[in-house]
Structure 1
Amino acid sequence: MKMRTVRLTDTTGLHSRDQHGFGFKRTIVLVAMLGLLATLFTLKITSGPEEVKRVAAKQDIAMITKALMLYHRDNGRYPTQEQGLRALTEKPTSDPVPFYWRDGGYLQRLPTDPWGNPYRYLNPGVHGEIDIFSYGADARQGGEGDDADIGSWE
């Protein structure tokens, strides 16, 4: 009787040389992950919760600005001061009624700033054609540090 040799193949994708060490690619991925964790840890230590809120407000303002730009592109104008930012979630009924309004609106919902206050909208703006802003932590115009206004003009 003749014996047949059966060769098993590695179905895990690992090669015998990888079983003895990490391998170059794995080392690079590990170093990148450790760098990311170190960066996040450093940011957590160096920036307080108010700085995180200011960054979140800037991101919200950028998102609202993009939605307003789409509204302007579709209708040739921004919502009026009276229509306000609500025109991004609900079709305005006051003049000028938009010629085109996207099903579902331009935003799913209007965010509030990280301190729980609505974002402000000026048309015409003081700093540009339109202004979108938050009054910051103190919810009052002006201020310094954590209380400083955050706006689309920054």
Structure 2
Amino acid sequence: MQNNLSSSRGFTLAELLVVIAIISVLSAIVLVNVGPARQDARDAQRQSDISQIAIALKLYREHNGSYPNYDGEIDSSSTVYSALENFMEEVPTDPLNDPEHYYYYNSNHQCDPGPNGPVVFARSLESKDGNLNEVCPDGWGSQGGASTSTNPYIIMLR
């Protein structure tokens, strides 16, 4: 009887391999499902950031009588960034902040045709549909970085 007890302790190699295979499959399923959630979270952050920048630009206009004159990426070397610093604790940057994902401001954007006016936008959302067709239903126009945007999230300032 004692021989049977001593030989039945522990797991066989086959049992361990089965458990490892099951854990691997479950890990792969979880990782596949987490990727889109991260993209959605970054897109939500972009939409929030653009809304905050739009509010700061409206405060700038209230204080100075007009929007800042600028057409380009919002980065630490831009004049619009300096203007925003006076109305925001921290000027946000895109969560990825790479050549395809950044924030942009154009003080005189022209949809093709109208409406025209200042716009601020995230150049490209990852997983959500942008709102280009709502803001410029007949075409995006051809000014600045806006013309090369894919799936942008835009706020037209009035």
Give TM-score scaled by structure 2 length. 0.48
Structure showing the higher helix proportion among its residues: 2
Task: Specify the structure having the higher radius of gyration (Cα).
Answer: 1
**Structure having greater relative contact order (Cα 8 Å, sep ≥ 6):** 2
